[in-house]
A and B are shown apart, each in its own frame.
Chain A
């Protein structure tokens, strides 16, 4: 079953912050976050393993709440280069990966 992402779309001004959420109804082994630019392949941002740890990547970080089977991606002080579609991918113990429908992020000057 695919994870549910919210919101579907976000429009920001440069320097603003955003949060993208991902939730699953099934027990997870890991959560992945990817960004895809139009016409390109998805690019890996970070992975979170069960245990609730928070990872960071530049001004982008994420958390994983194992009890709630939820992950959130935090984008702070957004830049124009952050524009794209963000996908969360949830992996179970059988290495079966399911992706959410994506969140389209637009950062304007």
Chain B
């Protein structure tokens, strides 16, 4: 089992470009979420999903879109990249019924020039 995978690991964008960060899980967890982590700071929730076809906004959703068409995948789209979106992005999954906490992917380090 791969657990939670994220691609790419590193990405450099120019201001105004768009891109999609991929997140996939093989743990059959119904819940998935996206966080960003800025240097010296905690994790801030961008969007989350409680199941296929259902998404909701977190703390910092502006500039990002998500969709959840399958249980396994939860891509994060940056519509028009800005330098303020330079960060490390983590995808996480969890299952509500087992109280095991969230499993995090390895992260994507994004730099916007």
A101 close to B41 (CB less than 8 A): yes
Distance of A98 from chain B, by nearest CB (Å): 7
Contact partners of A96 in chain B: CB under 8 A: 45, 48, 56, 58
Decide yes or no whether B33 CB sits under 8 A from chain A: yes
Contact partners of A40 in chain B: CB under 8 A: 106
Q: How large is the interface on A (under 10, 10 to 19, 20 to 34, 35 or more residues)?
A: 20 to 34
Distance of B2 from chain A, by nearest CB (Å): 14
Binary contact readout B35-67 vs A (1 if CB under 8 angstroms, 0 otherwise): 100000111110010100000101100000000
A32 close to B101 (CB less than 8 A): yes
Number of interface residues of B (CB under 8 A): 24
Within 8 A of B (CB), among A92-109: 94-102
Decide yes or no whether B31 CB sits under 8 A from chain A: yes
Decide yes or no whether B96 CB sits under 8 A from chain A: yes
Distance of B99 from chain A, by nearest CB (Å): 5
B102 close to A97 (CB less than 8 A): yes
Given the known interface contacts A41-B107, A96-B45, the answer about A47 and B33 at a Cβ–Cβ threshold of 8 Å is: no
Decide yes or no whether A6 CB sits under 8 A from chain B: no
Contact of B44 among A45, A46, A99 (CB under 8 A): A99
Decide yes or no whether A28 CB sits under 8 A from chain B: no
A46 close to B101 (CB less than 8 A): yes
Contact partners of A52 in chain B: CB under 8 A: none
A49 close to B99 (CB less than 8 A): yes
Decide yes or no whether A65 CB sits under 8 A from chain B: no
B100 close to A47 (CB less than 8 A): yes
Decide yes or no whether B90 CB sits under 8 A from chain A: yes
